[in-house]
Amino acid sequence: PGTPSAGPVTETSVGLSWAAATDDKGVKDYDVYRGAAKIATVTGTSYADTGLTKGTAYTYSVTARDTAGQTGPSSGTLTVTTPGGTVPPDPGDKVTLGYFTNWGVYGRNYHVKNLVTSGTAAKITHINYAFGNVQGGKCTIGDAYADHDKAYTADQSVDGKADTWDQPLRGNFNQLRKLKAQYPHLKVLWSFGGWTWSGGFGQAAANPAAFAQSCYDLVEDPRWADVFDGIDLDWEYPNACGLSCDTSGAAAFTHMMQAMKAKFGAANLVTAAITADASDGGKIDKADYAGAARYADFYNVMTYDFFGAWAAQGPTAPHSPLTPYAGIPQAGFNSAEAVAKLKAKGVPGSKLNLGIGFYGRGWTGVTQAAPGGTATGPAQGTYEQGIEDYKVLKNSCPATGTIAGTAYAKCGSNWWSYDTPATIAGKTAWAKQQGLRGAFYWEFSGDTANGELAAAVHAGLR
């Protein structure tokens, strides 16, 4: 049978359903397991487990039996955490932040409720909701349908209650509101820009006060003001090139962050995702990140995507190396040197979060298992070439080695690099040793159904 999915989930019950098994003699029934204990035998493909404890994680699997009495292999496992109970944030002031993408509700079928069923909601302190757009010098809605209009059925909803046609707020924003009701320690920030929508920041930087006012008016819109605890700016990249090039000057980012903090005030968080390019004369050198840090509650340093199949012929290299290594294709393209450079410029470690990718980047046409091999192009991915979710890669191309604190894998002619629970343990230990504020990741939907990478980040920062 297929791996069970959950819904609805209450404080004391979990509804389960799964895809039917097939058998040449016909399927008679299914045994439902909670952990190692068989809790039911049913003839259909659904079951409701009741009498549970709130705020508790439960793991389920299903085994099919045919008409001859033979049992088949067990399904995959699903871990569900019932809502309620006391859910503390991570100890101390460590930040554990994940990005939630508004487009994930479409093809990826990843919703706010998945943060509950995976157990991840209890293991994070912050969510960055990505993305709002930057247009005409203003913050604007990114996807109105996903953000605040999409109607959720009872089985899709965080609290098991369906949206109605006439309620004032639906979509992800309403689901985040429900999530915060169950996990009151969570802080949610609305992130603006990103790779695709950073082209608007240059115009916005020309009048920082007007831009900050527009962002405040949108984030604090009475329809959803209670959902958000601040704003995150993901400008890729101030006074440097990303999808397009910016020439607004080294001080523009500082002026923007200053205006944002002045407008949003001490009661709200103001954060930013920033470059990790520590090469000589690279992106860290192009803007005054130390000056802007005075107005930031913290920075999310994008210590991933250093290397990838945009260099179609290779050399193969890990996209998120923690440290430099012999043969690295570009000096300064690693987490340790990025953090060291930011600190040297005057950004305190206590305002820096280490970035972790919940995905891999890969090439095809590779014959060499070790990094540094040649390739013929990007490996095939589910959504785009050269990139694939961890939840897929852990099974389709298991790690075969490690380099510079991250994992790589060669399977057939494909070569991938990605982080695993083991390498995340190493990276979070390093982040603590460096006195960093915490860690963040891009993005939730790349994780397994039971949130094993999010759990590894949480455990590593404890």
The tokens describing 416, both together, are: 């991938």
Cα separation of 355 and 97, whole Å?
9
Cα separation of 451 and 159, whole Å?
19
CB 256 within 8 A of CB 179: no
The tokens describing 449, both together, are: 């159904």
Tokens 């058998």 sit on residue: 23
Cα separation of 438 and 300, whole Å?
9
Residue 149: count of CB within 10 angstroms of its CB: 15
Residues contacting residue 202 through CB under 8 Å, at least 6 positions apart? 246, 247, 248, 252
- Give the containing element (helix H, strand E) for 234: strand 230-234
Closest CA to 233 of 139, 360, 153: 139
Closest CA to 5 of 49, 60, 43: 60
CB 159 within 8 A of CB 182: yes
Specify whether 452 is catalytic. Answer: no
| Candidate list 236, 337, 443, 452, residue with the active-site label | 236
Cα-to-chain-centroid distance, residue 355: 10
List residues bridging with 49 in a β-sheet. 14
The tokens describing 357, both together, are: 């990718």
User: Quick one: 350 exposed, middle or buried, by C-beta within 10 A (0-12, 13-18, 19+)?
Assistant: exposed
- Residues labelled as active-site residues: 236
